[in-house]
Amino acid sequence: MTIQEVQEEIIDEFSMFEDWEERYQYMIDLGKSLPLIEDKYKTEDNIIKGCQSKVWVHADMVDDKVNFTADSDAIITKGIIAILIRVFSDQHPKDIIEANTDFIDKIGLKEHLSPTRANGLVSMIKQLKMYAIAYQTQLN
């Protein structure tokens, strides 16, 4: 699936819920299915700066595609990173770098987060794209 197709799928899933309480519960459930980072990667180097809670992200390149694993010590944050990893994992670095994240506004996520969580969301996207830039540089 392309990044755009995954984003459309997420928009469709979130549109099934009546209110934000149900959407938060869905995000918590998504966090439970997150491909977890190995403990050896839960280091300071892998913590996303700018998040109120701790979020660790690790990236590997497999067959010219970036694969992400992550974890967080907060359940909502874990759901947020799970959504982002679903969108960006198993994609080519160039596609990750060029991808827009309009789907976040379409599902209403940013407007329903506290300012500190919204800043954390931006930091997560930025870090995932930074990994992609690093891998893209290796490919060139």
In the chain, count H helices and then E strands.
Answer: 6, 2
> Per-residue pLDDT tens for 26-76?
999 999 988 889 999 999 999 998 878 999 999 999 999 999 999 999 999
Note the pLDDT of residue 113.
87
Look up 51 and say whether it is catalytic: yes
Give the pairing type, strands 65-72 and 55-62: antiparallel
Match 């469709």 to its residue by tokens. Answer: 12
Determine which one of 10, 30, 51, 124 is catalytic. Answer: 51
Note the pLDDT of residue 111.
85
Tally of domains within the chain: 1
What CATH number should be reported for the domain holding residue 56? Answer: 3.90.1010.10
Token code pair at residue 45: 């180097």
Note the pLDDT of residue 100.
94
Note the pLDDT of residue 52.
81
Q: Which domain holds residue 104?
A: 3-139
Contact in structure between 99 and 93 (CB atoms under 8 Å): no
